[in-house]
Homo-oligomer: A and B are copies of this chain.
Amino acid sequence: MIARRKNRVVNPPEHCPLGQCLSIIGGAWTPNIIWYLSSQSRRFSELKDDLQGISPKVLTQRLRKLENEGIVNRKVMPTSPPTVEYSLSELGKELKPAIEAIVAVGEKLKKIKTAEAILGA
């Protein structure tokens, strides 16, 4: 029988910022929405075209949630018919380094996988 090691690792900082942040960028399409908005503001139907395959329901859901969390600004333009401009808020822009770090890792992973595929591993 083996003595159980008792040393606890440092806990993830209280009430886990990991979960905090991942609950925002988690969910299908969400990171992509943030990605598109990070370079410029976009209208609803523009986003729908950018994110090929997303249903209007899900796009609305995501945008509403991001708006409630203060990540995204929603601005109705007085055109006819009214158009709606979505953009990243200042808070939303804080997400960019995280997204970029994730993208960077994703690219490394892709390289490794393609290398493996070529080597037939």
Interface residues in A94-113 (C-beta closer than 8 Å to B):
94-95, 97-110, 112
Judge whether B39 and A9 touch: CB under 8 Å: yes
Number of interface residues of A (CB under 8 A): 54
Judge whether B50 and A8 touch: CB under 8 Å: yes
Judge whether B18 and A35 touch: CB under 8 Å: yes
Contact of A5 among B32, B46, B98, B110 (CB under 8 A): B46
Check if A19 is an interface residue, CB within 8 A of chain B.
yes
Could you pull out 14 A-B pairs where Cβ atoms are within 8 angstroms? A4-B46, A5-B43, A9-B50, A13-B103, A17-B102, A18-B32, A18-B103, A19-B106, A20-B110, A22-B25, A91-B109, A97-B105, A98-B104, A98-B105
